[in-house]
Amino acid sequence: MNREEFLNLEPFSIPQAEKERFYREQMNELSANHRNACKAYDDICNGLNDESPYLPVSLFKDIDLKSVSDDKIIRKITSSGTTGQQVSKIYLDADTSALQQRALCSIVGDFIGSRRIPMLIIDSPDVLRDRSKFTARGAGILGFSMMASKRIYALDQDMNLDFEALEQFQELAESGPTFAFGFTYMIWEYLYEALRTAGKKIELKGCRLIHGGGWKKLQSKSVSDDVFRAGLREVCGINQVSNYYGMAEQTGSIFMQCDEGHLHASIFSDISILNPEDFSECEEGQWGLIALSSLIPESYPGHRLLTEDWGRIIGTDSCPCGRKGRIFEISGRIKKAEVRGCSDTFEGSALMRAGINDAEESLKILAGRYLPDNSIRCAFDDTAVAFLDALSTLFMRDPEYRQFPELYALGFWCRRAHIEKIRKGTDRSGRGLVLHIAPSNMPTMFAYSWITSLLAGNPNIVRISERSPEITEAALKGIDAVLSRPEFDEIRRQNAFVSFPRGDRVLEEISLSAKARVIWGGDETVNSICGVPKAEDCIDITFPDKYSIAILKTSDLEKLDDKELKRLAHFFYNDTYGADQNACSSPRTVFWVKDTGVLTESVKERWWNAVAQEAEAYDLQPWMATEKYRMLCRAYAANDRLESVRKWGNRLYVVPFTEYTGSLTDFEARFGLFYETEITGIDELLPYMEAKVQTIVSSGNDQMQIYEAIREAGCEGVDRVVAIGEALDFNTVWDRKDLVNLLSCTSSSEIRNTETE
């Protein structure tokens, strides 16, 4: 049976075993065609060592993937997305567009019949203004409209119910079969809730409702599938409701829900469930990542996709409705935890335009006192040192806090012995009020930033993200407990830990009173906050995006026994996986320094095996696996100097490269993705040491020699060179900025000005 004959069959008539045999051949053929026509896809296949890999759906947001020339493109479909989000871009030629329409008509026709019938579109006609450039919403409306004998829109141009149109459709429903189509959240919000608010009902008992997408927007309203169906019965009398699963990246080959409540795979597409640990196929009944295959995409390599949805196969050729193939269920989008690291703090530059009074009402005091006393103290005064020593004791000894390694490390850092080592002397005093915008995804960074300013003698306001993780909440609880002690009342009155919405008016109000703002975050975040008005004498101390590397000498590692190598690999694991490799000081690229007489490949293999063993303890969430895979695919699509990846499941990816002339910051890496290359000496490292490079971790005892060589060469980058295991250790001199000195002053005139202004 050839492809054309197969696609002419009834959409749910082929048993799964027969379908799989046909698909194996067709997927290989489609992959070969796309490799010949799309260089980016071919580069990805080569990099992954896979003739027909699944592509992550998010990759279509990052790059343009086309397998036909631009003059053949007749339409571009974009996925739905909220304001500010990137959207997928899908390019269609005439053949692929025709196949999409054919598939959709065949699949839906199996549910509503092959004869065209009246259709109610629960949307506004304005969504179809530009037919050459569709969102998934517009494409869905246009696709389903092909099965309609008459099309009636339920909403007007202002997205209000058109009651006259609804009455017209109700008359059609009384005389024969009809169907309605819309996106789930729009049906609920603009039809159900609007009818309830107006106190009206319409009678559409014989109408079949087809809906898809938008469940995420209904979660906050606790609208389940059962609640959704009951609501539509209440206001419309609709009993036949079919949800469908589909996406812009594979338009046409949708998965329809039968009256038994099961989602079905048709002859046009198939589904697999993958284990996020290694992307192996799960057994029937096991939950995992949904992967889709489709015979339709010819103009772009979207025939095999790894989604970000969680589901399981619940049967094969076994649905009581009689349809053949796999049946499955989905629980929704995989949950995305907060990313740890310095790449995002204030969650973008599109700040809310809330009024000051509204913002003040939503401001929450988490610890200390707001507004704090705006008085200054001498740097490293006895009260501040005693407070930090008490906090150290709490975090290091109390079982409630010892369970968090980050809090133990924080306690170790602020113990009295360490504070005495970094003491600057008593001739400096604070500048005045300091505002801290610390990364929400590094749970204890806010504390290090604050403690440094506290030691410099300043009152502080520390902004805590409204989505703070458990470790941050535990740290705040401990800080508040020590602040509440009578002997530290002065410290409590001079410091405030608060959360407030992303309103620039709130930020501006505090900034106009501050003498300094300490801002940690990505370039875009830092720039957006620096753009918020501040006091004339307020200084900004910023810590934007940085990139870090590791230098491993083959001679250093070769002489280590297994126990010593495991210990070093554990330290490396802490430097990288400990912050999801997202901290600015976590290494992402490894430079191997080769030594004569050392078997380099053997040393490298032994090292990465040791790291992989440590990575078995890593809490690899499904969303991390898909995001890391996206980075890997994107890297191969963007760089043709990369060699094939070496993988240890999904916990460790290593990508070798040679003779790369670009910037190291091109190599995006998190969650256990590393790039590596070989050099024979430090001289070969120097061209890579641009301004964005912050930290080098080294396997030897030559950190000072490496740092001096980089400085002597005049390189812009590299702020510190440390031993493996010390990448995340905080220092009051960071990015070559002495925070204590910047946040304090020496002359009495400076101090008086600070106090009176």
At 43 the pLDDT is: 97
* pLDDT (0 to 100) of residue 443: 86
- Domain 3-329 sits in CATH 3.40.50.970: no
Q: What pLDDT is recorded for position 504?
A: 57
The answer on pLDDT for 430 being more than 60 is: yes
For residues 489-515, give the mean pLDDT.
88
- The pLDDT assigned to 345 comes to 35
Average pLDDT over residues 512-532: 91
pLDDT in tens, 612-657: 999 999 999 999 999 999 999 999 999 888 999 999 999 999 999 9
Predicted pLDDT of residue 342: 40
What pLDDT shows up at residue 337?
43
Measured distance CA(153)–CA(118) in Å, rounded: 11
Start-to-end Cα distance in the chain: 85
pLDDT at 469: 81
According to DSSP, residue 596 is labeled T
Enclosing H/E stretch for 656 = strand 652-656
Any idea what the Cα angle at residue 234 is, between residues 229 and 236, rounded to 5°?
Answer: 90
The model's pLDDT over 30-88, given as tens digits with 9 standing for 90+, comes to 999 999 999 999 999 999 999 999 999 999 998 999 999 999 999 888 876 544 467 88
The residue ranking higher by pLDDT, 673 or 403, is: 673
* Residue 223 confidence (pLDDT): 82
Q: Which two tokens stand for residue 540?
A: 């900004």
Is pLDDT of 421 > 80? Answer: yes
CATH architecture of 547-734: 3-Layer(aba) Sandwich (3.40)
Domain limits, CATH 3.40.50.12780, in the chain: 3-329
Which amino acid is located at 214 in the chain?
A: G
φ, ψ of residue 45 in degrees (nearest 5): -60, -45
Residue 3's pLDDT is what? 86
Please give the distance of CA 214 from its chain centroid, rounded to a whole number: 19
pLDDT for res 168: 93
Token pair belonging to 755: 């106090």
Which residues neighbour 692 within 8 Å (Cβ) at sequence distance 6 or greater? 545, 546, 547, 663, 664, 665, 717
**What pLDDT does residue 597 have?**
79
Instruction: Write down the pLDDT at residue 351.
Output: 31
User: 371: cis peptide before it, omega within 30°?
Assistant: yes
Mean of pLDDT over the chain: 89
Q: How far apart are alpha carbons 480 and 389 in whole angstroms?
A: 14
Is pLDDT above 90 for 685? yes
More confident residue, 666 or 651: 651
Running DSSP on this structure, what letter comes out for residue 682?
Answer: G
Predicted confidence at residue 751, as pLDDT, reads 42
pLDDT one-digit tens code per residue, 166-183: 999 999 998 899 999 999
The answer to whether residue 754 scores a pLDDT higher than 70 is: no
Please, where in the chain does CATH 3.40.309.10 lie? 547-734
| Percent of the chain predicted with pLDDT > 90 | 72
Q: How would DSSP label each residue in 333-391? A: EPP-PPPPSSS-SSS-S--B---HHHHHHH-EEEEE-SSPP----BTT-HHHHHHHHHH
Handedness of CA 114, 115, 121, 125 (dihedral sign): positive
pLDDT given for residue 424 in this prediction:
65
Gap between the Cα atoms of 730 and 738, Å rounded: 12
pLDDT at 525: 84
Residue 349's pLDDT is: 30
pLDDT of 569 > 80? The answer is: yes
pLDDT per position as a tens digit, 260-300: 999 999 999 999 999 999 999 999 999 999 999 999 999 99
CATH architecture of 356-545: 3-Layer(aba) Sandwich (3.40)
Predicted pLDDT of residue 80: 63
User: pLDDT (tens digit, 9 = 90+) per residue, 574-608?
Assistant: 999 988 998 899 999 999 999 887 788 999 999 99
SS3 state of residue 474:
helix
- pLDDT at residue 489 in the model: 96
Beta bridge partners of 737: 734
Count of beta carbons in the 10 Å neighbourhood of residue 561: 8
Note the pTM of the prediction, 2 decimals.
0.87
C-alpha separations of 514 from 252, 366, 511, 517, 525 in Å = 56, 20, 5, 7, 19
